[in-house]
Amino acid sequence: MNTEVTVTEHILLHQKKSPHATGQFTGLLYDLILSGKSIAFRVTKAGLLDVLGGTGEINVQGENVQKLDDIANRIMLYRMERCGALCAMSSEEEPDLIRVRPEFPHGDYILIFDPLDGSSNIDVNVNVGTIFSILRRPEGGSGEVTLDEVLQPGWKQVAAGYVLYGPSTMLVLSTGQGVHGFTLDPGVGEFLLSHPDMTIPEQGYIYSVNEGNRQNWDDAAREAVEWFHTAPASNGKNYSARYVGSLVADFHRTLIYGGIYMYPPDRAKPNGKLRLMCEANPLAFLAEQAKGKASDGRMRILDKQPDKLHARTPLFIGSARDVEAVEAIYAKHGR
Ligand code: AHG
Ligand code: MN
Ligand code: MN
C-alpha cells in the first residue's frame, strides 16, 4: 500500500491536468473532504453518542429520517455553503434546491449529495456513506440559479465520489481522470492514497439485488436476475449473491471485485428506488471512469435527463459484460 501520497498532494498533482484546474474547484474538494471527516467522526461514535435511531420525521422521499441522516445533512449544508465554490446544492434530505445565501461567497459549482446512504443500516453498525456529485453551472448563468440549470444529465458531472464509513473510512473520488481511493489514517486525520487507478474487472462473479422484491418485478427484471442464477461467472463457477442494503457499500464491493448491482423497477416503484442525481449519477460516473458500465436497462445512466431534483431511476451497475448481459435481456423484451 502506498501510504505516502496524501489526498491533498494527489489533488494538486492532478489539478495541473484537469480542465477544472482552479483554486475554486480544489477548495471545494477540500471542504467536501473535511465534511466527510466530520461525518466519519460522528458515525464512528454512533454507539456512544445519542445519535442512533430515528428523529420521528419522514423525509421528502417518504422515508424515516435517522438522527445520523439529519446530522450528516446539516454538516454538509453548513460547511459547503461556506466553501466559496458553490452557487447551489441539492440534498436527498431536502425537498427543494438550496441556493447559497447572499452573505456567503458564491462560485460556479453545484453540489448534489446523499448525506448518508444506507441509513437503515446505521443501528446495526453496517457500512454507510456520503455520495456526492459536482456539476458546473452552465456558461453564462448569472443571478439566482434556476432549477433548469441544475437538472443536468450525469455526463456533465465534473467530479463525483463517496466517503465510505466502514472498518476504515475511505474516500473514492474521480475528477474525470480515473478513480482513486484514499484511506483515512485516523492517527493523523488525513486521507492517504491506498487504491490508485481503480478499475472494475470486465466480468465479475457476484450479483447484488434485493430478491425480496421479485414478485413485483416485470418479466425483463426477472429474466435478468435469473441469468445470474444460471450463467457462468468470471471464475467459471456460479455467481454468488451479496446484498448489504447500503448502495455505497454494495457499489464499493462491485468496484473492487466486479460483478453487478441491480435495483430494477417494480410494481410499487415503477422508476426504481434510487435517486438519479444524488445516487445513480455519481456512481455511474465512477463506474465508467473505472471501465465499468451503468444502465437503467435500456439506456446509459449518464445520458438520462432528470426532470426533477428527486427523479428516480432503475440501476444496473458494475462490470461491463455483466451490465451488457442485462441490457441484452431488456432489449429482447422491448419497451
Ligand atoms: P438511503 O439510506 O440514502 O435512503 O438509501 C437507501 C437505498 C440504498 O442505500 C440501498 O441500496 C437501497 O436503498 C436499499 O433498498 P431496499 O431496502 O429496498 O433493498
Ligand atoms: Mn441513499
Ligand atoms: Mn440517504
In this prediction the pTM is 0.95
Question: What percentage of the chain exceeds 70 in pLDDT?
Answer: 95
Total number of domains in the chain: 2
Pocket of ligand 1 (CB under 6 A): 63, 92, 114, 117-120, 210, 245-247, 250, 273
Give all strands (DSSP E) within 86-187, no chain letters.
86-91, 98-99, 109-117, 128-136, 159-165, 169-174, 180-185
- Model confidence at 174, in pLDDT bands (50, 70, 90)? very high
Residue for grid cell 459549482: 109
The protein residue with its alpha carbon nearest to ligand 1, atom 16, reads 245
Print the domain residue range for 246.
206-333
Is the pLDDT at 2 greater than 70? The verdict is no
- Residue 335: predicted pLDDT: 64
Task: Evaluate whether residue 2 is within a structural domain.
Answer: no
Last residue of a domain, one of 195, 215, 235: 195
Whether 262 and 140 map to the same domain: the answer is no
Cα dist from 230 to 100, 132, 209, 221, 329, whole Å: 51, 35, 15, 15, 14
Q: Which residues pair with 241 in a beta bridge?
A: 207
Last residue of a domain, one of 148, 174, 195: 195
CB 41 within 8 A of CB 235: no
Task: Answer positive or negative: Cα dihedral of 221, 225, 230, 232.
Answer: positive
Range from 91-105, 119-133, 199-213 carrying the lowest mean pLDDT: 119-133
Q: Which residue has the higher pLDDT, 45 or 199?
A: 199
The protein residue with its alpha carbon nearest to ligand 1, atom 19, reads 210
How far apart are the C-alpha atoms of 300 and 315, rounded to whole Å? 10
Average pLDDT, the chain: 93
Q: How many residues does the chain have?
A: 335
CB 323 within 8 A of CB 294: yes
- Residue 67: predicted pLDDT: 85
116 is in an annotated binding site: yes
Average pLDDT over residues 203-225: 97
Whether 92 and 24 map to the same domain: the answer is yes
pLDDT digits (tens, 9 = 90+) for 259-318: 999 999 999 899 999 999 999 999 999 999 999 999 999 999 999 999 999 999 999 999
CATH at 89: 3.30.540.10
Ligand lying closest to the C-alpha of residue 119: 1
- Residue 179: predicted pLDDT: 98
Whether 218 and 153 map to the same domain: the answer is no
327 is in an annotated binding site: no
Using the atom order of ligand 1, give the atom closest to the CA of residue 212: 19
